[in-house]
Amino acid sequence: MNRTTVLMDLMSDNGIALSVEDLSTYFFTGQGVAKAVEKVGFNIKKGRTFALVGESGCGKSVTALSIMRLVPAPPGKIVGGKIVFDGRDLLTISEKEMRQVRGNKIAMVFQEPMTSLNPVYTVGNQIVEAIRLHQKKSTRQAWLGAARMLKKVGIADPGQRVREYPHQMSGGMQQRIMIAMAVSCRPTLLIADEPTTALDVTIQAQILDLLDELQTQNKMSILLITHDLSVVAERADDVAVMYASKIVETAEAKPFFEEPLHPYAQALLKSLPQLDLSPKRLSTIAGIVPEPLHFPAGCKFHPRCRTGCNDARCRTVEPALRQIRPGRDVACWYAPGYETDKERAEYESKYGKR
Amino acid sequence: MENADNYILKVDDLKTYFAIKKGLLRRTVGHVKAVDGVTFQIRAGQTLGLVGESGCGKTTVARTIVRLVPATSGRIVFEDIDVTSADKTKLRRIRKDVSLIFQDPFGSLNPRMTVGNIVADPLRVQKKLSGPALTNHVATLLSKVGLSSSHINRYPHEFSGGQRQRIGVARALALEPKLVICDEPVSALDVSIQSQILNLLKDLQDQFRLTYLFIAHDLAVVKFFCDVVAVMYLGRIVERAADDEIYRRPLHPYTRALMSAIPHVDPSLRHQRSAPGGEVPSALEPPEGCRFHPRCPLADDNCKKHTPPLEKKDDSEHFVACWKS
């Protein structure tokens, strides 16, 4: 690719690498329909890291699997929405076309490198497979490519390591292999699903630095999925907070951490033990994360919310994600500037003045 | 007097090795030195945080203290009992006075037992309780940890991770232990649940005057929870000091590296960290001399040859094992 085409490419579609609109993914189980992802929408800008943060079961991983079209079906099904990548809706293209995208243009790194690598093949074999599948290269070239990739992700003695099996490596090294495999076809989007959760802090820092380096080199976008707000603060440019299948707040990372707007995001940040603070007690969020089969009515956070638990509207009407000022989207009736005058009047006529 | 300093637990030069056996005759071909010369004390009512990366031997220390694995050498004194040489009767007392809370609330509760039975089991065995007295006791315990007595006949799978950890806490408290060993009690839990369990453990400590040995890898959690912090690396303690002191003035390069590797919850502090390169070497063949030297920015020839002892720094209760500090 020469310079002009790169520029053209960057300029087309407003610098957005992937756009998700109104995505809904449900699981049809014996006990009922579990709405794992409901009307989720966000844009990942080119060359930036977009973090999707939430607790277990909030639907963040299902969102990632939906983008890759890897939701196990049945029982899972993407029931609506659009995922626009490279000018195409990934949900309408054929499986054959999808295979050209998956692992090539969009690649994924999983949480547990120990279970995501195939134990009976050498790591070289597994990287070569990815390269040969998507690029016209001879076996010899592909093996050289694999060794080069290992060097790139910081593995010493790559010529020897390509011939080794995953069990011969440490967790951190296995995660480096996963990353090498994912970026071997120079994807434009890398989905990293809890890439450092299984790793020690010093190794976590190394892997985060590595992702940073590869992002700058390859100009790729990263969708970072995590439950760890400190990883988000460390690495992300944009943030979306998910709670019970929905996005409740999106913003750029800096303003988000300075002033989170949704009560859930506020409470989550406050409940983290931090190095530079030493409180007597931690602030907590009462209750538990609801399960998709038993979501509360109204705002799904209301049973655990300080403002919402006694509010009649929060208990019955779910607020939608809405922009309340440039760059700040939130889904809470009581976020400053959220309510329209009309809604306020309606509320007061229904439930009385507040 | 053994207990002049009010120490409830003293561990002195503890070594726990695992033999590696190979071949038809199962000959011992080497040792994994999981714990290699660990010394610390815990005062009654205090919390000691044992921090380190995976594989550093912190869990083995815990298991050796309750004699789930035998110590290779060294001494462990709990109150006035020498754990390493305790006979059956004494061991029974230790098992009553020292209890454990485990990391994985899914793996540490028997799925075939009801919550009531899980909590009642230690009471039946150790206190010979039965009938209504037992049921009442179990109900009180459950309410202490924030569960209701209606949960008695339910099974573990009906509970969320946080609730299961509460069951584990109730079981650990059943025999009114003096020392509770918490092995990564919150690392498998969601953030919003973590703080609930940490607060619960703190409240129970005040209520029952518990002493905790708190094992964790998360330095921020340890800072919140512990009075004294000991940092382990490859089977040895490299630094030990009071909680404020160690965070304000970490002396060992490994402690400093660990601290700087923690991501901050503030994007403006980004890229101020300097993670150590490389990885924790295998405990099978730990490096000669100071075990941290291959990753240490300060290491010189002396560090490669001689192991630094854990020594007091300027008369305070700050211990560090580093030639360069």
Q: In this predicted model, what pLDDT tens digit does every residue of B194-241 receive, in sequence order?
A: 888 899 999 999 999 999 999 998 888 898 899 999 999 999 999 999
Q: Read off the pLDDT band of B1 (50, 70, 90).
A: very low
The whole-number pLDDT of residue A13 equals 54
Give the Cα-Cα-Cα angle A35, A39, A42 (nearest 5 degrees): 130
Tell me if B193 and A253 make a contact (CB, 8 A cut-off). Answer: no
- Side-chain half-sphere CA neighbours of A41 within 13 A: 13
HSE-CB for B210 with a 13 A CA cutoff: 28
Tell me which chain A residues have a C-beta less than 8 angstroms from the C-beta of B148: none
Q: Chain A residue with minimal CA distance to B278?
A: A203
SS3 B133: helix
CA–CA dist B54, B14 (Å, integer): 19
Establish if B158 touches chain A: CB-CB under 8 angstroms: no
Sheet strand arrangement including A88-89? A32-45, A16-29, A76-85, A88-89
User: Assign residue B162 a region: left if phi > 0, alpha if psi is -120 to 50, beta otherwise?
Assistant: alpha
Closest CA relative to residue A18, chosen from A45, A49, A56, A50: A45
List strands edge to edge, sheet with B98-101.
Answer: B98-101, B179-183, B211-216, B47-51, B228-233, B236-242, B318-320, B311-313
Q: In angstroms, what separates the C-alpha of A315 from chain B's closest C-alpha? A: 21
Residue A329 predicted with pLDDT over 90: yes
Q: Alpha-carbon distance B111 to B156, whole Å?
A: 6
Closest alpha carbon to B82 in B50, B73, B175 = B73
Phi/psi of residue A41, each to 5°? -140, 140
Question: Å from B283 to nearest chain A CA?
Answer: 13
The secondary structure of A235-299, three-state, reads: HCCEEEEEECCEEEEEEEHHHHHHCCCCHHHHHHHHHCCCCCCCCCCCCCCCCCCCCHHHCCCCC
Give tens-digit pLDDT for B2-45: 445 789 999 999 999 988 888 888 888 888 888 999 999 999 99
Whole-model pTM? 0.83
Interface subset of B 254-313, CB within 8 angstroms of A: 257-259, 261-268, 270, 273, 275-277, 279-280
Least confident of A196-205, B48-57, B94-103: A196-205
A89 alpha carbon, distance to own chain's centre = 19
Burial class for B216, CB neighbours closer than 10 Å (0-12, 13-18, 19+): buried
Position B313, amino acid: K
Nearest one of B208, B180, B12 to B97, comparing CA atoms: B180
Contacts of B202 in chain A (CB under 8 A): 281
The confidence score (pLDDT) of residue A1 equals 46
